[in-house]
Amino acid sequence: MTKRIFWLGLALTTALIVPGCGAQKGAAEKALAATVQAYDAIKQQAQNIVPDEAKAIEDAIAAANAQLQGGDTKGALAAATSLDARVKELAASLPEKTTQAQTAWAELTGSIPATLATLDKKAAGLVKPAAGTPNAEQSAVAVLARLKTEWTEAQAAAQAGRLAEAVTKGDDVRAGAVKLLTDLQGGS
């Protein structure tokens, strides 16, 4: 009799737990699918405006999928819930971040071409060192050529809609141009 009660209790417990696990897995799958769908709606813009945040979310989605595939439905559900909040927060902030990137790019396009033209005038009489000359890549002529190439790359990134990349490259060009201008004015 005791054995029957034990086996009946075990069977009843199993019958209650197993469907609960399946329900939790279904909830995790549904939550993760909703998060992925929400992220897919903003993915392109996020990759162009805030690529680091986009990459972090993509990595977190992959990790949550791995948790789910590994059987950690509770962890996957928690991750999907947290990710959903992050995706919504990113979606809400994208318009402002896009405006900031556009403003930064407009500022760069308003100043860098004139700065490069000024550098062209200042470096007009300089000769590029011969190949093999020590530190030839640090000469004003070589640095100016590199800055022009980098500016062209920044413009191409902006044309392709990758504003974050364009602004980063543009900032690098501006910093390099200011340093070169300072070096040329100082006579070094």
Same domain for 85 and 109, yes or no, is no
Residue 152 has a pLDDT of 96
Same domain for 26 and 50, yes or no, is yes
The string of pLDDT tens digits covering residues 33-75 is: 999 999 999 999 999 999 999 999 999 999 999 998 998 889 9
**How far is CA 141 from each of CA 120, 153, 174, 176, 187, rounded to the nearest angstrom?**
9, 19, 16, 13, 14
Number of domains in the chain: 2
**SS3 state at 57:** helix
Token representation of residue 80: 């999907």
**How far is CA 11 from each of CA 4, 14, 55, rounded to the nearest angstrom?**
10, 5, 46
Find the mean pLDDT for residues 147-171.
96
Find the mean pLDDT for residues 137-142.
81
Same domain for 68 and 139, yes or no, is no
Query: How many other CB atoms sit within 10 Å of the CB of residue 107?
Result: 14
Token representation of residue 151: 């500016």
Q: Are 174 and 111 in contact (CB under 8 A)?
A: yes
Same domain for 9 and 37, yes or no, is yes
Rg (CA), the chain: 28
Confidence of residue 139 (pLDDT cuts 50, 70, 90): confident
Closest CA to 114 of 160, 163, 151: 151
Cα Dmax for the chain: 106
Of 63, 96, 129, the position where a domain reaches its end is 96
CA dihedral 176, 178, 184, 185 (to 10 degrees): -170
Of 76, 96, 116, the position where a domain reaches its end is 96
Confidence of residue 186 (pLDDT cuts 50, 70, 90): confident
The pTM assigned to this predicted structure is 0.75
Same domain for 23 and 75, yes or no, is yes
Same domain for 90 and 6, yes or no, is yes
Of 96, 125, 150, the position where a domain reaches its end is 96
What is the domain range of residue 118?
Answer: 98-186
Residue 7 has a pLDDT of 46
15-24, 44-53, 169-178 — which is least confidently predicted? 15-24
**How far is CA 55 from each of CA 35, 106, 121, 181, rounded to the nearest angstrom?**
15, 26, 42, 36
Same domain for 102 and 148, yes or no, is yes
Same domain for 57 and 106, yes or no, is no
Confidence of residue 22 (pLDDT cuts 50, 70, 90): low
Same domain for 64 and 129, yes or no, is no
Same domain for 50 and 133, yes or no, is no
Find the mean pLDDT for residues 86-113.
95
State how far the Cα of 4 lies from the Cα of 36, in Å rounded to an integer.
Answer: 48
State how far the Cα of 33 lies from the Cα of 4, in Å rounded to an integer.
Answer: 43
Residue 27 has a pLDDT of 84
Same domain for 6 and 91, yes or no, is yes
Same domain for 107 and 174, yes or no, is yes
Q: How far apart are the first and last CA of the chain?
A: 99
Sign of CA dihedral 6, 8, 12, 14: positive
Find the mean pLDDT for residues 70-92.
91
